[in-house]
Structure 1
Amino acid sequence: MYQEFGSSLMAFVLKLTGHDRQWAEDVVQETLIKAWRNAGKLDRQPEMLRAWLFTVARRIVIDGWRSRSARPQEVEELESDSIGVPDESEKTLAAMIVYEALRNLSPEQREAVQQTYLRDRTVNEVAATLGVPPGTVKSRIHHAVRALRRALQERG
């Protein structure tokens, strides 16, 4: 059976396993073991036997994908001496620089930026809230972004 169907079964299973050769070999082996255990029940016609083998292999791969997604990925345990603590200083410094740059905007520009970028509102929503035309909001945002860009470039 392996001589007749082994290479085509392996090629089929390789595609199903994302070209993971070790997993594909395991699937082919398990498929052939199931065929051997069920030899008395199998239809001996080549096309029927091939269909049975490919169906069993596909189901084994599906079960493998399901079990891999159901359990967490195993990872090596690290030595306690080598565990790093994330350094948040860069984020903190960047936030301070942005905050300072925002403080230097006019109150109208700052409000437009906060409403659109930080609160994720549309220009029309901000215009309605502030009681100004949408073009005015767009203009404030445009000038605010240019001023922020300059301020951030100056600070590096």
Structure 2
Amino acid sequence: MALKNKVVVPGRPTIAPMPDDRLLYELYRRHRLRLLSYVGRLIGDWSNAEDIVQEVFVRAWRHGHALTGEPEMLYGWLKVVAHNLIVDRVRARQSRPTEVQAFGEHDVETPDTADAVAGTLVVQDLLSCLSYEKRAVIYQLFFRGASVNDAAAELQIPAGTVKSRAHRALRDLRAMAGADLGSEVRR
């Protein structure tokens, strides 16, 4: 057939001749890895970078009739095409609303708070066994997050007293917890 180097699509007129396969092969051989590295660094996703590089060479094949010159000189054109494809993908992603995955009834995991509630009840029971002075120090230090000096100022007692009451309260709590819950609460 005489149209060996032309693309024939039924129902459409014959278009420009296809590019020389040797030129495309040389472009691909010389520039594929360099172009892949360039695109990969720009977008940070190697899978998408491979897709973009493949599209660059498809466009080179489609516009092969316009590609003239040495393969080394055409790298700039390949980079521009790759850059334009990246920009197009970013713009397309920004123009669409963010997709939200619908969760089925069994896909959503709800946290089990039973252990936390049980632990809170145990701690409340243990704290109720302490004297008011020890309980006040534990509240200031552990529930309010106050420093020793801040707790001393709030309770109007010396800082050393806060330290000794905290030490004794923790010792008493450990002893009560060990008697009530066994050794697994002790550390």
TM-score, reference length from structure 2: 0.54
Match of 1:133 in 2: 158
The correspondence of residues 104-115 of structure 1 with structure 2, limited to 5 A, is 104-115=129-140
Identity score, percent: 30
Name the amino acid aligned to 1:143: R
Match of 2:127 in 1: 102
User: How far off its partner does 1:93 sit?
Assistant: 0.7
Whether the aligned pair in 1 keeps the contact of 2:36 and 2:50 (CA below 8 Å) is: yes
The correspondence of residues 1-156 of structure 1 with structure 2, limited to 5 A, is 1-14=27-40, 20-29=45-54, 32=56, 49=76, 52=79, 56=83, 63=90, 71=98, 74-75=100-101, 77-78=103-104, 80=105, 86-154=111-179, 155-156=181-182
Instruction: Give the Cα–Cα distance (whole angstroms) in 1 for the partners of residues 144 and 38 of structure 2.
Output: 51
Stretches of structure 1 lacking an aligned partner (at least 5 in a row): none
When Rg is computed on C-alpha atoms for both structures, the one with the higher figure is 2
Mark the CA change 1:129 to 1:85 in structure 2 (over 3 Å): closer, same or farther. closer
Whether the aligned pair in 1 keeps the contact of 2:31 and 2:75 (CA below 8 Å) is: no
Greater shift in the superposed pair: 21-30 or 115-124 = 21-30
RMSD of aligned residue pairs (Cα, Å): 4.1
User: How far off its partner does 1:136 sit?
Assistant: 1.4
Q: Higher relative CO (CA 8 A, sep ≥ 6), structure 1 or 2? A: 1
Name the amino acid aligned to 2:51: D
Instruction: Give the Cα–Cα distance (whole angstroms) in 2 for the partners of residues 16 and 135 of structure 1.
Output: 60
TM-score, reference length from structure 1: 0.63
User: How far off its partner does 1:76 sit?
Assistant: 5.0
Name the amino acid aligned to 1:49: G
Mark the CA change 1:117 to 1:29 in structure 2 (over 3 Å): closer, same or farther. farther
Name the amino acid aligned to 1:10: L
Write 1 or 2 for the structure with the bigger share of helix.
1
Mark the CA change 1:25 to 1:123 in structure 2 (over 3 Å): closer, same or farther. same
